[in-house]
Amino acid sequence: MEADHQPASSDVGGTNLLVFRKIMSEINDSLRPFFSPDGVAVIGASATPGKLGYGVIANLIKSGYQGPIHPINPKAGEILGLPAYPDIDSAPDPVELAVLIIPAPAVPDALQACARRGIRAAAILSGGFAETGPEGEVRQREILTIARQHDIRLIGPNGVGVLNPHSGLNTTFIEQIPEPGDIAFLSQSGALGGALIDWARGQRIGLSYFASLGNAADVTETDLIRALADDPNTRVIAAYIESVHDGPGFMDAARRVTPRTPIVVLKAGGTQDGARAVASHTASIGGSDEAYSAAFKQTGVIRAHSVQELFDTAIALAYQQPPAGSRVAILTNAGGPAALAADALARNGLQAPLPDEASRAALRAALGSAPQLLNPIDLLGAASSPEYETAARILLQSDAYDAVLAILVPNTANDPAGVAEALARAAAATNKPLYACYMGDVSIREGRRRLHQHRIPVYDFPKNAARAIANARRWQIVRESPPRTAAPQNLELYADIVAELAKKSDLGQKYVGEAELYPLLERLDFPMPSWTAAYAKADAVAFARTHAGPFALKVLSPDLVHKSDVGGVALNVSAERVGQTYWDLQAKVRRRARKAGLQGVLVQEMARPGVEIIIGMRRDPTFGPMLMFGGGGVYVEALRDVAFRIAPFDAEEARAMIAETVAGRLLMFGARGRVPGDVDALVRLLQLVAGLALAAPMLREFELNPVIVHPAGQGATVVDARAILG
């Protein structure tokens, strides 16, 4: 597997690659016993049917595990015909994996015993750890310490264990295991994992591996993703994730894995960030779900939004080559479903173009004049298996298409199982992907079974098929242009500023006002108009005399975060009116916000005209600094025309981020007589903010709102900024 590993990122080259491989193989060696152990001991095995410790032994036997199985039980005796041992020390060699199903307080001692016995892998099924509260947390730390001391890797606690249908390893309570296949499935919820495995069996979806991570005290989703990328049985990694344990580590692993093994993730949403700060727009719009989406996007991970989509996508990727382009031929025996399919394909960014002349002629010659040869290619209700086969062959060979979606609606005149065989024959003759959508239930079960058998992905509804095809297409794009890692920035540049922010933060300061913040930003070459903080009318007037007007005047107060909301901003003020406006602002604010600690007035040159956008940063607890780019400046919350990325990212990624928004596309391409904006300046600004966020861990939120973007070549101007420490 390692031999065909493609360096996924620019920093993986030469010696780094060698180091990386060494680390990989060390990690994977330590996890191997969880995949194919030579000998399993079940600590807490029971002779009483109905007990979990009985079920695990029964399942190990039933699933056909070939190595020795050692039940451990103080009463010894015999369990399901196997000799039981009173303790792990007396169990004979070999034992590579210990499965623990004993009460939590007994786990530390049992682990110590495993260590003495030379066991280096333990799946802890017992609950009663971090999931139960502080006492459990202490216990979880205790077992982790023991594991680290003795080089033991742990899966769990509080999980259901692991399952390898290829080797018959089943340490779970799940009785019926799926067929061996090439989809690995990781789950942070044991219960959901059990339900999905049962469902996969019904759907005849084969699995290469299943692991329930439980509390993931030691082995995390990231470790297993790394290991599974090298598992020869695994073609696709599917995961149900509630939270990623180590954001940067996950991103690093995913970046390296996705170009060779696709990763599809169902992430439970609705995660609470605790009390969400409202001081910045970025924090109010960009929560942890946006951070996950950004992290997945940047690392080539495909995000599924339902259990159905997770597996629909997994089989598309496991069974077929991904489409080389986005043009799909819809082959059908029914008009309505085909129309729905065309809609769904379009909604998912795919196309359904008309057949080219050559294909149309070939179809006409083979099928006669009855079928409609547009797209859909409609064979009509009674379409026979040979008709499906002939048409599928022609379409799969056609240069006009990158994939074929064959839809079948059952009726008395057709033969769903026969069509399945026909489609399989057509698919076998080419590398181009063929997908099927069999609508209905009772009369198509056999047809579906055969499609699965022949590795033709089959879907219930056109919408599901379209989503899965689009996701498969996404993976092909990841393969063609693997996720990049940004070259490390020189954070030295920010050192002085970081030191000053750190000082403020250490003194408990939360909010950094304009007058304190702007000098720091200017030192970093943020493009800003000339300004002064005036604490007397004379200061304001003096500034106006020596600078080109007109001016923007704004109240300076730590209590007024949104200055224009209280009438605290005056724009286009001529030099002559600066003095009067100074008093007007003071008076107005004193009236409206009596309690605000008014400090003075910011006098700023007006920026040249341009388009207002917002750039923000919020530090995500999992992934670190997340940047936001958005259209509409102050209207960003209403418009939600925003894109997110986790820092660091390179210029190309910054450009992709800008292009994800309507405002960004308008800036790039211009519209209705509006000239394109200076996108390069925005890219530089995004990277400057990313660098600052990476260098200054005490910077919790940061926002430039608005940035005024001038025509291409003329730069951008930051006219308002705020920083929140914490």
**What residues between 196 and 215 interact with ligand ADP by CB under 6 A?**
none
Which of 47, 561 has the CB closer to Mg ion? 561
Count of residues near ligand ADP by CB under 6 A: 18
* Other CB atoms within 10 A of residue 627 CB: 26
Among ligand ADP, Mg ion, none, what does residue 473 contact (CB within 5–8 Å per kind)? none
CA 613 to mean position of chain CA atoms: 26
Q: Please name the amino acid found at residue 610.
A: G
Q: Is 612 in the site for ligand ADP (CB under 6 A)?
A: yes
Tell me the C-alpha distance between 126 and 157, whole Å: 6
Nearer to Mg ion by Cβ, of 416 and 632: the residue is 632
Region 468-487 residues binding ligand ADP, contact defined as CB under 6 A: none
Distance (Å, rounded) from C-alpha 442 to C-alpha 718? 63
Q: Which does 554 bind (CB under 5 to 8 A by kind): ligand ADP, Mg ion, none?
A: ligand ADP
Among residues 158, 180, 160, which one has the least CA distance to residue 63? 180
Instruction: Choose the binding region for ligand ADP from 89-97, 445-453, 460-468, 600-608 (rule: CB under 6 A).
Output: 600-608
Out of 493, 606, 659, 698, the residue judged to bind ligand ADP by CB under 6 A: 606
**Among residues 571 and 651, whose Cβ is nearest to ligand ADP?**
571
Q: Which stretch binds Mg ion (CB under 5 A): 16-24, 452-460, 475-483, 717-725?
A: 717-725
* Residue 482's binding partner out of ligand ADP, Mg ion, none, with CB under 5 to 8 Å set by partner kind: none
387 binds, among ligand ADP, Mg ion, none (CB under 5 to 8 A by kind): none
Binding mask 557-586 for ligand ADP (x = CB under 6 A): -----xxx----x-x---------------
Minimum gap (Å) between residue 555 Cβ and ligand ADP: 9
**What is the spatial distance between Cα 173 and Cα 161, in angstroms, rounded to a whole number?**
8
Distance CA 452, CA 450 (A): 5
How near is the Cβ of 353 to Mg ion at its closest, in Å?
46
Shortest gap between Cβ of 705 and Mg ion (angstroms)? Answer: 4
Q: Give the span between the Cα atoms of 701 and 714, in whole angstroms.
A: 28
CB of 720 to ligand ADP, least distance (A): 3
State the sign of the Cα–Cα–Cα–Cα dihedral 691, 693, 695, 696: positive
3-state percent helix, strand, coil for the chain, nearest multiple of 5: 45, 20, 35
Residue number with CB closer to ligand ADP (113 or 606): 606
Amino acid at 336: G
- For ligand ADP, which residue of 468, 607, 685, 686 counts as binding (CB under 6 A)? 607
Element containing residue 302 per DSSP (H, E): strand 302-304
The label of the residue with tokens 């064959």 reads: 406
CA–CA gap between residue 573 and residue 586 (Å, rounded):
15
Collapse the DSSP code of 367 into the 3-class scheme (helix H, G, I; strand E, B; otherwise coil) and give the result: helix
User: Does position 633 bind ligand ADP by CB under 6 A?
Assistant: yes
Of 215, 489, 604, 622, the one binding ligand ADP (CB under 6 A) is 604
3-class SS string, 142-183: HHHHHHHHCCCEEECCCCCEEEECCCCEECCCCCCCCCEEEE
In the list ligand ADP, Mg ion, none, the entry touching 5 (Cβ below 5 to 8 angstroms by class) is none
720 binds Mg ion (CB under 5 A): yes
- Tell me which residues in 668-707 interact with Mg ion (CB under 5 A): 705
186 closest CA partner among 205, 160, 218, 166: 160
Half-sphere exposure of 586 (CA within 13 A, CB side): 15
CA angle 113, 116, 121 (to 5 degrees): 75
Question: Which one of ligand ADP, Mg ion, none is in contact with 703 (Cβ closer than 5 to 8 A by kind)?
Answer: none
C-beta of 605: minimal distance to ligand ADP in Å? 6
Give the type of residue at 439.
M
Interacting residues with Mg ion (CB under 5 A): 705, 720
**Residues within the interface to ligand ADP (CB under 6 A):** 529, 552, 554, 562-564, 569, 571, 604, 606-607, 612, 633-634, 705-706, 719-720
